Amino acid sequence: MDMMANLPVAVIGAGPVGLAAAAHLVERGITPLVLERGESVGAALLDWGHVRVFSPWKYNIDA
């Protein structure tokens, strides 16, 4: 019996990376608990939207 099969999974942060991680878990039949410090999903994006990323946007998202 796989002891880790029934462990809960938490994703810390509901930004683009956290939501992508959660989506991949759901695709694998795992229901994660997504925790976000901000008031809404992706709240930090509003604060950091002025920061220019070094790579093109297509490399910063999970497609």
Q: Is residue 1 part of a domain?
A: no
Average pLDDT over every residue of 18-47:
90
Q: Is residue 25 part of a domain?
A: yes
Q: What angle do CA 7, 11, 35 make, to 5 degrees?
A: 115
Q: Is residue 20 part of a domain?
A: yes
pLDDT band for 41, please (50, 70, 90 cuts): confident
Count how many domains the chain has. Answer: 1
Q: Is 8 exposed, middle or buried (0-12, 13-18, 19+ CB in 10 A)?
A: exposed
Question: Model pTM?
Answer: 0.70
Q: Is residue 5 part of a domain?
A: no
